[in-house]
Chains A and B, each alone.
Chain A
Amino acid sequence: MAENNYLLDIQDLKLHFRTTKGTVQAVDGVNFQLKPNQAVVVVGESGCGKTSLAKAVLRLLPRNVEQYSGKVYLDDIETMALEDEDYRKRIRWVKMSLVPQAAMNSLNPVLRVGDQVAEPMMVHYGVKKEEAMQQAIKMFQHVGVPVDFINRYAFELSGGMRQRVALAMSLVTAPALVMLDEPTSALDVLTQANIFNLLKRIKSEMATSFVLITHDIATSSELADRVAVMYAGQIVEVSDAFHFFKEPRHPYSAKLMASVPKLRGTAEPDFITGQPPSLINPPTGCRFAARCPRRFAKCADEPPTVIIGEDLVKCWLYV
């Protein structure tokens, strides 16, 4: 989609899983776009399909996939059309990498962290070990890990340092897009602030784009240029951050924002009654209707996606 200058363009992406109880529609018709050097935050409650979305984009699929369809353009390459081997060589880690959930606990305990950071360079670019290690040292300096940690093992590092190592690993091949799945949810507040400072610096220095997946709305504002709200497998709103944090459009986004406890200001937080629907047999029509304070007759039908400027909202109120 060169004419739009999108780095990532996802169109009607679906990922359904087969289980003994029926089909789980984890990602069900997701559309969104990301420009170069932008950060989009995907927020939603647990079980709404955020992580499945990341896995679907990166094609890290489990075995029980029932349906995997749609179009994903990355830098004008239609990645869904690529063969697995091609995808591995041309996309994964070369153009797009992932920092998985609880990344700090996913480091290999029997490898030195330096070797782990260097490995993607060797595997994906076929460079010699010495050269890859040079690159790893550069990345360590970039993410603020002392260079002499390069020969340490993961258990010798603190949580924040391990998270930085995981980040260095995802950045070592200089991909255009990095996906972060809950990068700070297990960290202390000060470490969390440090990691976000670092992400902001990397974004401006290396012109990297980010997709940040989180359920923590307050900290998500630390990086967001745009916010995508996910509910029951669908994206219900994509808005510019400045608009979203002031006045979210979708009733679900508004309730979600109202539930955030704030340190400053006097507003009492509220909570959303009820529970998200099961993804096995999601309700027809608007999936949020049962919990929505502003529902009306039309909500029994599937709401269309309304385009407002550059933003999207999937709600009958805006038709």
Chain B
Amino acid sequence: MTPINKITQGNAPHKQADRKSTAGDQLLKINDLHVWFEMRKWGFRHAGFVRAVDGVTFNLRNNETIAIVGESGCGKTSLMRTILLLNRPTKGEVSFEGAAINNLKANDLKNYRSHVGYVQQDPYGAMPPFMNIQNILEEPLKINGVKDATERFNRVKKALEEVKMSPAEEFMAKFPHQLSGGQQQRVVIARAMIMEPQLLIADEPVSMLDASVRVEILKLLRGLQNKHNLGVIYITHDLSTVRYFSEQIFVMYAGQVVERGNVKQMLQNTKHPYTFALLEATSDPDANNAIIQKEVPPGEPPSLVNPPAGCRFHPRCPHVIQSLCEVEEPPEFEPEAGHRVKCWLLK
């Protein structure tokens, strides 16, 4: 594998050799990222933009997990697709190990993608039903030029053993439909890990699984992360799992990060009304839940074509400040170190 920074004009000093040893290093840096999709009328006339991601900034270090939480349509998936370079950023900068990746092409792009693993939401939908597990896991190796069949076989075997699917030979001959949901998700994780990436993007990896195996899969991901010093972006809408599997939580609403901080700050010292609402709506098993009505903000997330002026949450917010929230966009306040909140209440 060529180190990514060698081929991208080499403006970063790291080398492949010292990558693993430099824990806490910058792995992925995103600065004021905007992803807008153009809408067209009659196929050619400009008709506005869908502002899927509107000004997101973060740093991800090795061996760190960032959980991105938000409802559907808040831009989580667009953000993830941009990091995978399936979309191109409209504005702003994405850099991986110090090298900008905005405009990677052809072989550089292929090489970059081999450094990034991707765990899909629906494991069955993510695997071709006509290929057996061995072929599925070999595919990334073939694409990235591993020509020796024995080496491929050994790496597939190792990857399967790493996700605790043994005896590996037995599973290799099977097809996706012969596996249970949890096993399918393990294969998807093995596929994401087979190129030994530094960054893993997990898009709701457990939302399609049974409660009894969810925790198992999250613990498996955690173990792989510690072993390989991975940076992980964990995308989810389920706040009850983030506590076990992340260092930082980012809450997204309508294309923007409205609150971010470490897990403790976010869960015990919640500041943004939207984060409050999400926490309030998440149930813990308790029979008293059946008696009380929950407080849920009215309405639905806004359209990303014409987001509301000022704070994007103000039409649904119970604490709206008249003639401020609906006029001016709140800046990021920092009530405590590392905890940033985009809300006028902290003024």
Interface residues, chain A, with chain B CB atoms under 8 Å away: 39, 45-46, 158-160, 188-194, 196-197, 200-201, 215-225, 241-242, 244-246, 255-257, 259-265, 268-272, 275
0 or 1 for each of B6-27: is its CB under 8 Å from A? (1 = yes): 0000000000000000000000
CA A217 – CA B210 in complex, angstroms? Answer: 10
Q: Would A215 and B211 count as touching, CB distance under 8 A?
A: yes
Q: Would B237 and A188 count as touching, CB distance under 8 A?
A: yes
CA A300 – CA B213 in complex, angstroms? Answer: 26
User: Is B284 interfacial (CB-CB < 8 Å)?
Assistant: yes
Q: Would B285 and A260 count as touching, CB distance under 8 A?
A: yes
CA A172 – CA B32 in complex, angstroms? Answer: 50
Chain B hits for A261, CB < 8 A:
214-215, 240-241, 243-244
Min CB gap A134→B, angstroms: 27
Interface residues, chain B, with chain A CB atoms under 8 Å away: 71-72, 180-182, 210-216, 219, 237-241, 243-244, 267, 277-287, 289-290, 293-294, 296-297, 300
Q: Would A222 and B290 count as touching, CB distance under 8 A?
A: yes
Q: Would A200 and B237 count as touching, CB distance under 8 A?
A: no
Q: Would A190 and B290 count as touching, CB distance under 8 A?
A: no
Q: Would A255 and B290 count as touching, CB distance under 8 A?
A: no
Q: Would A196 and B294 count as touching, CB distance under 8 A?
A: yes
Chain B hits for A190, CB < 8 A:
71, 277-278, 281, 296-297
Q: Would A245 and B210 count as touching, CB distance under 8 A?
A: no
Min CB gap A208→B, angstroms: 14
Chain A hits for B289, CB < 8 A:
221-222
CA A260 – CA B287 in complex, angstroms? Answer: 15
Select B284's contact among A39, A45, A256, A263, beta carbons within 8 Å. A263
CA A261 – CA B246 in complex, angstroms? Answer: 14
Q: Would B284 and A218 count as touching, CB distance under 8 A?
A: yes
Q: Would B243 and A46 count as touching, CB distance under 8 A?
A: no
Assess A221 versus B286: contact at CB under 8 Å? Given A259-B214, A261-B244, A271-B212: yes
In the complex, 5 of the A-B residue pairs with CB atoms within 8 angstroms, ordered by the A residue number, are A189-B281, A218-B283, A221-B283, A221-B285, A224-B290
Select A160's contact among B267, B286, B294, B300, beta carbons within 8 Å. B300
Assess A188 versus B277: contact at CB under 8 Å? Given A45-B212, A263-B243: no
CA A244 – CA B290 in complex, angstroms? Answer: 13
Select B237's contact among A189, A222, A272, beta carbons within 8 Å. A189
Select from chain A the residue with minimum beta-carbon distance to B299: A190
Chain B hits for A158, CB < 8 A:
300
Q: Would B286 and A219 count as touching, CB distance under 8 A?
A: no
Chain B hits for A223, CB < 8 A:
290
Assess A39 versus B238: contact at CB under 8 Å? Given A216-B211, A263-B243, A275-B180: no
Chain A hits for B284, CB < 8 A:
218, 221, 260, 262-265
Min CB gap A275→B, angstroms: 6
Select from chain B the residue with minimum beta-carbon distance to A194: B296
